[in-house]
Amino acid sequence: MTLPKQQILDWLTEQRPRRLDELWALADQTRREHVGDAVHLRGLIEFSNICQRNCLYCGLRTGNAKLSRYRLTEDEIMDCVGQAVAFNYGTVVLQSGEDPGIDLDWLCALVRRIKSETDMAVTLSVGEWEDDALQHMRDAGADRYLLRFETSNAKLFDRIHPPAPGQPKRDRMEILRTLRRLGFEVGSGVMIGIPGQTWSDLADDLLAFAELDLDMIGVGPYIPHPDTPLGKYLEHYMASEDLQVPATELMTYKVLALTRLLCPDTNIPATTALATLNTKSGRELGLQRGANIIMPNLSPTEHRGAYEIYPDKACIKDSAGQCLLCVTGRVAMIGRSVGKGRGDSPNAQQRRDADSAIESIGGDS
Ligand code: SF4
């Protein structure tokens, strides 16, 4: 579905419960028709919380001296991967800060090992790398790559996301296009209610999702971290009251539902940030308003609390097994089922079909 910007703005500012019920119903129906009732689980392994950057909102920023840092060994990561296999997950997501101690060859060997020892899809979420490094990761067998563009407002992005010292500024939209060219399934997303983010910015974010033709889109509320500049001096960064997007649970559902309408074939997670705002039913409501993915945590429990992009994250004390039980229970409670296999996005499947059709035509000529 295409929606003009004004209509997106109207939905974002809509307050009438009856109209919002119509939006949730339309998003849910679109989700059912395009990606079905299955909820796919992606096992999340947060393997390093070390980061060289100083993003103004993020608890992993290098300037946060209060955070105790860790990087998992290959054996520790493979233990998590073993659990993903035992739980029948179709995907593992390897996520980290921009850790300068991660060696490219080590990372590629790890991906190769997971691909040779399991049938799972491997998703990388390891920040900005040079194009040739991304090519190596793809050659090693990585299937998907997640890189949130956070906001399509370039000025706002530059303010909250300065490059690492001595590193050039990179254009994340350009990196996303490179990832697509390299054959990754590409995921991205934004934060909702970043101090300084206006309604118009957020509507542009939604239009950018459609333009980038993404395979996965994660949207989550901005949650202030007290040990970051943005968290400490929130008021200083806010746009004026009538322009500033609120970082609320309701706004997150609106963006999630509109994302489903604009990008019907994409995979959309009900994020942990949403579950943090509403521990009782945030994930379920997300799944009923457009989402079809959950990312249960496989990281060792002793390190969960230290992957603190924002504080009081949901589920940091639960073991991987408890996460699975909780998630499958929640999925069953809303009458849905856990998906089998890798759960590729229909988008990616259509691209693969088109590529093989082109190849077969080339082969015949
Ligand atoms: S947002 Fe990403 S790049 Fe920025 S400090 Fe946090 S982990 Fe590092």
Q: Could you tell me the domains of the chain?
A: 5-357 (3.20.20.70)
Residue 311 contacts residue 96 (beta carbons within 8 Å): no
Ligand 1 centroid – CA 161 distance (Å): 8
- Cα(173) to ligand 1 centroid in Å equals 17
pLDDT tens-digit profile of 36-55?
Answer: 999 999 999 999 999 999 99
Ligand 1 atom nearest residue 97's Cα: 7
The set of protein residues with a Cβ atom below 6 angstroms from ligand 1 is 51, 53, 55, 58, 60-61, 97-98, 127, 309
Question: Which of 46, 53, 64 to mutate to test ligand 1, by most ligand atoms within 8 A of the CB atom?
Answer: 53
Span from the CA of 96 to the centroid of ligand 1 (angstroms): 9
Residue nearest to atom 2 of ligand 1 (CA): 97
CA of 14 to the centre of ligand 1 (A): 32
38-48 and 337-338 beta bridge pairing: parallel
Atom of ligand 1 nearest to the CA of 96: 7
What per-residue confidence (pLDDT) applies to 143? 97
Q: Which of 47, 309, 310, 313 to mutate to test the pocket of ligand 1 (most atoms within 8 A of CB)?
A: 309
Q: What pLDDT is recorded for position 365?
A: 38
- Which amino acid residue places its CA nearest to atom 7 of ligand 1? 97
Residue from 55, 227, 313 whose mutation best tests the ligand 1 pocket (most atoms within 8 A of CB):
55
| Predicted structure pTM score | 0.95
Q: CB-hemisphere CA count at 13 Å for 233? A: 5
Pick out the chain residues at pLDDT < 70. 362-365
Distance 223 CA to ligand 1 centre (A): 14
The ligand 1 atom at the shortest distance from the C-alpha of residue 150 is 1
C-alpha 91 to ligand 1 mean position (Å) = 23
What pLDDT is recorded for position 206?
98
User: Cα(31)–Cα(200) distance, rounded to whole angstroms?
Assistant: 25
Residue nearest to atom 5 of ligand 1 (CA): 61
**pLDDT of the residue at 346:** 84
pLDDT at res. 348: 83
> How many angstroms does the Cα of residue 57 sit away from the middle of ligand 1?
8
C-alpha distances in Å from residue 117, one per residue of 107, 122, 214:
15, 12, 28
Is-contact 297 46, C-beta < 8 A? yes
Atom of ligand 1 nearest to the CA of 49: 7
For every residue of the chain, which 3-state class applies, written as one string? CCCCHHHHHHHHCCCCHHHHHHHHHHHHHHHHHHHCCEEEEEEEEEEECCCCCCCCCCCCCCCCCCCCCCECCHHHHHHHHHHHHHCCCCEEEEEECCCCCCCHHHHHHHHHHHHHHCCCEEEEECCCCCHHHHHHHHHCCCCEEECCCECCCHHHHHHHCCCCCCCCCCCHHHHHHHHHHCCCEEEEEEEECCCCCEHHHHHHHHHHHHHHCCCEEEEEECCCCCCCHHHHCHHHHCCCCCCECCCCHHHHHHHHHHHHHHCCCCECECCHHHHHHCCCCHHHHHHCCCCCEECCECCCHHHHCCCCCCCCCCCCCCCHHHHHHHHHHHHHHCCCEECCCCCCCHHHHHHHHHHHHHHHHHHHC
* Number of residues that make up the chain: 365
The confidence score (pLDDT) of residue 364 equals 45
